[in-house]
Structure 1
Amino acid sequence: MTSLGGVEMVDWKLAVATATRLVRPGPEVSREEARGIVAELRRHAKASEEHVREFTRLSAAGPEGRDTPVLVVDRPGWVRANVAGFRELLSPLLSKVEERRATVPGGAVIGAVGGKVTGVEVGMLLSFLSSRVLGQYETFAPATRELPGGAEGGGRLLLVAPNIVHVERELEVDPHDFRLWVCLHEETHRTQFTAVPWLRDHIRMEIQSFLEQTDIDPSTFLERLREAAQSLTGNKPGEAPAGEEAAAREERGSIVELVQTPAQREILSRLTAVMSLLEGHADYVMDGVGPQVVPSVSEIREKFQKRRASGAGRLDQALRKLLGLDAKLRQYRDGERFVRAVVDEVGMDGFNRVWTSPNTLPTKAEIAKPGEWVARVHRKAD
């Protein structure tokens, strides 16, 4: 008990242990099949580099792109990588909470218990997500011996082999085509960050600003949580939602969005626009390159879109909405529509002005109305 003062607010080791224990087993493959899948994914990741760079006309601005490792991982490996990323991003907020805890009588004991509880909760969340992610360009996590990163500050590209195999079997598509198709999407993310040096720090600063605005006063947080519960279950007695209020409630369905401060909503609006751009750009590139190198791309795209929209069942859909994953699906759709509209109007080089600086990133409103971004960035500059 004497060491409780140094206990972290989240027991990260317990989070990993919980997720690893709860994670679903992947599809059955022989050892020989597994080796072949890993080798093929690495080959496709390497081949995707040139395809994406040629199509997007973006190339690494420094050594970051050349030293970014490609890691083919299983579900527990994905969990460990993301715990490292969460720990890195959340450290300023957790330090702030630690300082507050030190002034509360019995805070050390409360913190130790709370860290265990939070560790289990984080582990349960990661267990749920670990069977759904096909790939990820991990931007912020520090390098470790088990999960290396770029030597010059670059990230790492994760490909979750069991999930890729599971989806290709579920969709009954050509496995070799599907694996390359997935790699094209994830390689686009790696290209975005390695070709645009300021992008990583910009997103990190936005996330840190969001966390700094978090109100750690328990009574205030509980009050917002109570309001969030009312929003999820309906209005207060005697009140009826109508018009814009009902639409806004439908839009703000996730836990994350419902406990925000007004300042956080502004930051999240900017982050949503950036993430819509990145995800939409990756989808656009994946479809643009696909017909040249993926023979069955039309079939894959059609089946994958149906799967992405439907979810796996009622419980899965409820969890997606509660965790904000439905917003992720909108980012793919709205972002891809934005990129396509801009490229159609001003060409790929014209679209690439979006990477000039944070000031040329689209706003959330411009994602919905691409012509406004073209007018602001192109016509004003011209």
Structure 2
Amino acid sequence: MTRIGGAGTSGMVDWNLAVATAIRFVRPGPDVSRDEARAVVAELRRHAKAAEEHVRAFTRMIPEGQEPEDTPVLVVDRAGWVRANVAGFREILKPLLEKMQERRGNSAGGAVLGAVGGKVTGVELGMLLSFLASRVLGQYETFAPASRDLPASETGGGRLLLVAPNIVQVERELGVDPHDFRLWVCLHEETHRTQFTAVPWLRDHLEGEIQSFLDQTEVDPMTVLERLREAAQSLTGNRPEGEDDEGGRSLVELVQTPAQREILGRLTAVMSLLEGHADYVMDGVGPQVVPSVNEIREKFQQRRAKGASRLDQALRKLLGLDAKLRQYRDGERFVRAVVDEVGMDGFNRVWTSPNTLPTKAEIAKPADWIARVHRKADS
């Protein structure tokens, strides 16, 4: 097993145990032969390359003749997704965990957490990752550190993951054309890759917002452990007797201060923009290159909206995934409204600087963004 850098068994989280736990409990993938698996991987790589050309032509985010920074496209299994995400979590959460480590000895729950140790926290995190690892089709990892097994961009982060077994599983569940579905997924994920490679300041801006949020977090370590335990209990069915599965609290409820709520509002707006833009591009390109795009979209939307089970619904609420579903819908409506009004080049002003990103209120009222960015600039 690949170790996630340095002293993985020290501190607040045993990261290597998180990886081991997730891989141990993740659901088995769909039944495919070795030859079928090779064919799927090869096709996803071809589709990723084709999607890059389609997305660039449709979005016009990259000027002709300009070549942005290259980031790797990796086709992974569920274990590979787990390892990549643990490495990313460890990187972005490092400042917060160091702060929590300092507070552990001084807090009322410090002695308890010291006894429980990072191993239990690693197990709890691993259980959550085992749940998510069978559901993610693809992901652009913005803050991914490079490793021997999982390369990233040379400037400190960025890689596109396509989770082959999950793509195969969903295409079978939906009963859609597998070749069309694979290209459709690649179009969405490639849009995210293009967003970050074509807009160099976006990664640093997001990282700065996240670190500002974490800097203001004064969370008792036991509170975080409690949230992780609630999520793991939902997953394993071991919630206390009489406690409603749907009564779990979201991890987002750790937000405490007005400044944090303000930062979270900005982050929500950016994520709505990015997800909605990817959906808009996926549907915009789709009719020309994915013959069955309408069938795929309808079936996938139904699946996305209802979730697989009551357990899924409880965990989605706890992990804040319901908010992500709203981001897809709200963001896509924003992008569509702006493009309809001012065209694709007019919409692309959104990528000019952090000041031209939409606010949370503007996501809901695209005309306000147009008035602020276009009419003010053009007056």
Q: Which residue of 2 aligns with 1:255?
A: 250
Q: Does 1:301 align with 2:297?
A: yes
| Distance in 2 (alpha carbons) for counterparts of 1:127 and 1:315 | 14
Q: Which residue of 2 aligns with 1:28?
A: 31
- TM-score, normalised via structure 1 length: 0.86
**Number of equivalenced pairs:** 352
- TM-score, normalised via structure 2 length: 0.87
Cα deviation, residue 71, structure 1: 0.5
| Distance in 1 (alpha carbons) for counterparts of 2:124 and 2:248 | 20
Find 2:98's aligned residue among 95, 100, 111: 95
Q: Does 1:324 align with 2:320?
A: yes
| Distance in 1 (alpha carbons) for counterparts of 2:142 and 2:313 | 28
| Distance in 2 (alpha carbons) for counterparts of 1:108 and 1:196 | 46
Q: Does 1:268 align with 2:271?
A: no
Report if aligned partners of 1:63, 1:152 keep a CA contact under 8 Å in 2: no
Cα deviation, residue 7, structure 1: 2.1
Cα deviation, residue 51, structure 1: 0.4
| Cα distance, 1:113–1:60 mapped onto 2, change above 3 Å | farther
Find 1:200's aligned residue among 199, 203, 218: 203
Amino acid at match of 2:310: R
Amino acid at match of 1:276: S
Amino acid at match of 1:273: A
Segments of structure 1 that go 5 or more residues without pairing to the other structure are 229-249
Find 1:377's aligned residue among 350, 353, 373: 373
Report if aligned partners of 1:55, 1:285 keep a CA contact under 8 Å in 2: yes
What is the DSSP-based 3-state SS (H/G/I as helix, E as strand, rest coil) of the residue aligned with 1:87? helix
Cα deviation, residue 66, structure 1: 4.5
Q: Does 1:367 align with 2:370?
A: no
Report if aligned partners of 2:100, 2:220 keep a CA contact under 8 Å in 1: no
What is the DSSP-based 3-state SS (H/G/I as helix, E as strand, rest coil) of the residue aligned with 1:381? helix
Report if aligned partners of 1:254, 1:322 keep a CA contact under 8 Å in 2: yes
Report if aligned partners of 1:67, 1:152 keep a CA contact under 8 Å in 2: no
Cα deviation, residue 59, structure 1: 2.0
| Distance in 1 (alpha carbons) for counterparts of 2:221 and 2:51 | 48
Q: Which residue of 1 aligns with 2:19?
A: 16
Render the CA deviation track for 1:308-335: whole Å, top value 9, x for unaligned: 0011011111111121111110000000
Q: Which residue of 1 aligns with 2:286?
A: 290
Seq. identity, %:
80
Q: Does 1:45 align with 2:45?
A: no
Report if aligned partners of 1:61, 1:194 keep a CA contact under 8 Å in 2: no
Amino acid at match of 2:59: T
What is the DSSP-based 3-state SS (H/G/I as helix, E as strand, rest coil) of the residue aligned with 2:334? helix
Segments of structure 2 that go 5 or more residues without pairing to the other structure are 1-6, 231-245
Report if aligned partners of 1:37, 1:161 keep a CA contact under 8 Å in 2: yes
| Distance in 2 (alpha carbons) for counterparts of 1:65 and 1:120 | 39
Report if aligned partners of 1:253, 1:324 keep a CA contact under 8 Å in 2: no
Amino acid at match of 2:72: P
| Cα distance, 1:218–1:36 mapped onto 2, change above 3 Å | closer
Cα deviation, residue 255, structure 1: 1.9
Report if aligned partners of 1:134, 1:159 keep a CA contact under 8 Å in 2: yes
| Distance in 2 (alpha carbons) for counterparts of 1:369 and 1:114 | 47
Amino acid at match of 2:252: E
Cα deviation, residue 307, structure 1: 0.6
Q: Which residue of 2 aligns with 1:243?
A: none
More displaced, 267-276 or 65-74? 65-74
Q: Which residue of 2 aligns with 1:149?
A: 152
| Distance in 2 (alpha carbons) for counterparts of 1:89 and 1:337 | 30
Cα deviation, residue 96, structure 1: 1.3
More displaced, 126-135 or 310-319? 310-319
Q: Which residue of 2 aligns with 1:242?
A: none
| Cα distance, 1:321–1:102 mapped onto 2, change above 3 Å | closer
Report if aligned partners of 1:257, 1:265 keep a CA contact under 8 Å in 2: no
Report if aligned partners of 2:110, 2:221 keep a CA contact under 8 Å in 1: no
Amino acid at match of 1:257: V
Q: Which residue of 2 aligns with 1:211?
A: 214
What is the DSSP-based 3-state SS (H/G/I as helix, E as strand, rest coil) of the residue aligned with 1:142? coil
Cα deviation, residue 60, structure 1: 8.1
Render the CA deviation track for 1:245-264: whole Å, top value 9, x for unaligned: xxxxx9x9852222211322
| Distance in 1 (alpha carbons) for counterparts of 2:253 and 2:98 | 23
Amino acid at match of 1:260: V
| Cα distance, 1:99–1:60 mapped onto 2, change above 3 Å | farther
Amino acid at match of 2:119: K
Over the aligned positions, Cα root-mean-square deviation in angstroms equals: 2.7
Amino acid at match of 1:132: R
Q: Which residue of 2 aligns with 1:160?
A: 163
